[in-house]
Structure 1
Amino acid sequence: MRITLKQLAVFEAVARSGQVAKAAEMLSLSSPATSMALSELEKQLDARLFERIGNRLRLNSQGSLLLPLATQALQKIDQIEHAFSPAGTELGGNLNVSASSTIGNYLLAKSAVAFCQQYTNTLVNVDIENSQKVINSVLEFRSEMGFIEGQCLDSRIAVEAWHRDKLLVFCHPAHPLAGKTVAPSELSGMPWVMREEGSGTRDCFVSAANALDMQPQEKFRFSTPDAIKQAVKQGAGLGVLSELTLEKELIRKELSVIEVEGLGLERQFYRIHHKSRHFTPVGLAFIDFCRTFLNTEH
């Protein structure tokens, strides 16, 4: 059996993208060459690695077994090449990361741009999803690392505290409670505009609200902060989002904050990675860069 690095690279790219055509584009290969390399790998292993679901390829149990091994092998080759590169060689390569909505839009987007401006031979791809989808991306080896707003209890994932954030309860400026400090009971029965299931923002707020028996009544549900802010501006109800997302609207007095007694809405952001995956040189450099650029906590 002679498995080639090309076959492993094709397999990993198909696993990450879910399509042969996209994998071919990622690897600068033709679709026929990519398809042939995958077929040869399956033939040599005498095993099917994917199941076709619609127009996408999804890892089956055999593919899921191979993926971490293939990724480790490819990373080892990268480490060998890096170790024997001439001293002073400029950092280069692609980095795939995933981030939940608030982190991706308000922290990582600007970090990725600044990093690539400093290291001009690098490219950081940031996929922005909710926290659960970020976890799935790391589990499926599509992302080298992830940044989430909620907890991750999966034993296959390494979790590190990364940054701190605070959620704010807000409303339309003409709301009777705008700018006031209120008891939790005063919000009983009021309608809320909430984030979707799987959102770290939602999980943090619901947990804190339930601890005070607030029982928030969800009237609308949206998957982006902008949609929630727009709904609150239209008088749809109260909202809760990271202070990172509300800075402009509060300065312009388009929205107002409500302080709720005893409602603890400080939260921890986390950086996650698969325990079976080692960081690439670009990944390690990006972690160090963010620590300084964003003043993240260790």
Structure 2
Amino acid sequence: MHITLRQLEVFAEVLKSGSTTQASQVLSLSQSAVSAALADLEGQLGVRLFDRVGKRLVVNEHGRLLYPQAVGLLEQAGEIEQLFHNDVGAIRVGASSTIGNYILPEVVARYRRDFPDLPLDISIGNSQDVINAVADFRVDIGLIEGPCHMADIVTEPWLEDELVVFVAPTSPLAQGAVTLEQLAAAPWILREQGSGTREIVDYLLLSHLPHFRPGMELGNSEAIKHAVRNGLGVSCLSRRVIEEQLDNGTLVALDVPLPTLVRTLYRIHHRQKHISSALQRFLRYCEPV
């Protein structure tokens, strides 16, 4: 059996109109198309839905039984059409920790002001976690702190981000200009392997310190800030992450003998991922203001 929504729509309109002629005008179909759809529906059900009284069609007991079911299905189909017409599906965003904790909240706040009821799922991990989620289609879009090297993932530059080398104000390194030798001799507190921040720090900074002294690896920026503030070593994080502590003096930025450490933040999606209008709408809020 292959009952179609069109057949049910024709049946319901014929019942309301009382004739195929009136129904054809409402549905913008030819009278022959309406009659054919009704005949096909009756043929599939194996019953007559109307009694033919002269030129009139009078609904019978079979038609009365079908009518509420047909109307219910047509209403559900209309709800489905409206759902996708408005494009209100949940958007799934994966963000690395610095972006998720220090950049994305402002983006989401602006988005929520205009679209308070649209579903939005945010997951936060390190950059490799986000890359894996994009590769497995577990998120629609990823925002990461380092480049992605997977062939199936499209990587686009998104924002520029300054990195800052910092210590506690009581550190001997905070007393003036520092040398690369002093930095290499200091205990370094770094993000874990797989973090976008760690990859860029290795490339931009630690490559100039071939004999640097590793202190410890920590899984999030908040832990690193607390460790450095308590005098356990030196670190390098996004200025966005430590801006409040720099302003209140609980951490001190070092003037290192290197060019300004600037990295690119990236937006990624799977090459086969369809960028829906809902996703495009969200991405507009991710652009710099």
Total equivalences in the alignment: 210
Q: Does 1:140 align with 2:136?
A: yes
Max radius of gyration: which structure? 2
The question of 1:273 aligning with 2:252 is answered: no
Aligned to 2:221: 225
2-structure distance, mates of 1:166, 1:265: 6
Counterparts in 2 of 1:93 and 1:209: CA distance versus 1, 3 Å:
same
Q: Distance in 2 between matches of 1:226 and 1:232?
A: 10
Identify the residue that residue 156 of structure 2 maps to in structure 1: 160
Secondary structure (helix, strand or coil) at the match of 1:112 reads helix
Report matched runs for 1:17-166 at 5 Å. 81=81, 85=85, 89=86, 92-166=88-162
Q: Partners of 1:157 and 1:251 in 2: how far apart? A: 38
Cα distance, 1:81 vs structure 2 = 4.6
Cα separation, 1, equivalents of 2:252 and 2:242: 10
Kindly state the Cα deviation for residue 84 of structure 1 after the two structures are TM-superposed: 7.8
Q: Secondary structure at the match of 1:92?
A: coil
Give the distance between the partners of 2:243 and 2:150, measured in 1 at CA: 34
C-alpha change, 1:184 and 1:289, in structure 2 (3 Å) is same
Alpha-carbon distance between aligned partners in 2 of 1:224 and 1:179, rounded to the nearest angstrom: 27
Percent identity reads 35
Q: 1:93 to 1:84 in 2, by over 3 A?
A: closer
Equivalents in 1 of 2:100, 2:228: separation in Å?
Answer: 22
CA shift in 2, pair 1:178/1:289, >3 Å: same
1:48-80 deviations in Å (ceiling 9; x for gaps): xxxxxxxxxxxxxxxxxxxxxxxxxxxxxxxx9
Paired AA for residue 121 in structure 1: D
Distance 2:175 2:156 in 1: 35
Task: Report deviation, 1:127.
Answer: 0.7
Q: Could you tell me the TM-score, scaled by structure 2's length?
A: 0.68
1:252/1:258 CA distance change after superposition, 3 Å: same
Q: Secondary structure of 2:266's match?
A: strand
For the 8 Å contact 2:110–2:285, the answer to whether it is kept is: no
Query: Partners of 1:84 and 1:271 in 2: how far apart?
Result: 25
1:186 Cα shift? 2.1
Note the C-alpha offset of 1:266: 0.3
Alpha-carbon offset, residue 230 of structure 1: 0.4
Distance 1:81 1:274, change over 3 A: farther
CA shift in 2, pair 1:157/1:84, >3 Å: closer
- CA-based RMSD of the aligned residues comes to 2.0
Alignment of structure 1 residues 157-196 onto 2, 5 Å: 157-178=153-174, 180-196=176-192
Is 1:207 aligned to 2:227, yes or no?
no
Q: 1:193/1:125 Cα in 2 relative to 1: closer, same or farther (>3 Å)?
A: same
Counterparts of 1:219 and 1:243, CA distance in 2: 21
C-alpha spacing 1:210/1:256, structure 2 compared with 1 (3 Å): closer
Q: Is the 8 A contact 1:208 1:264 kept in 2?
A: no
Residue of 234, 238, 242 corresponding to 2:234: 238
Deviation at 1:214, TM superposition (A): 4.5
Indicate if the aligned counterparts of 1:92 and 1:119 stay in contact, CA closer than 8 A. Answer: no
The question of whether the paired residues in 2 share the 8 Å contact of 1:97 and 1:125 is answered with: yes
Structure 1 residues 113 and 103: CA distance shift in structure 2, 3 A: same
Stretches (4+) displaced over 6 A? none
TM normalised by structure 1 equals: 0.66
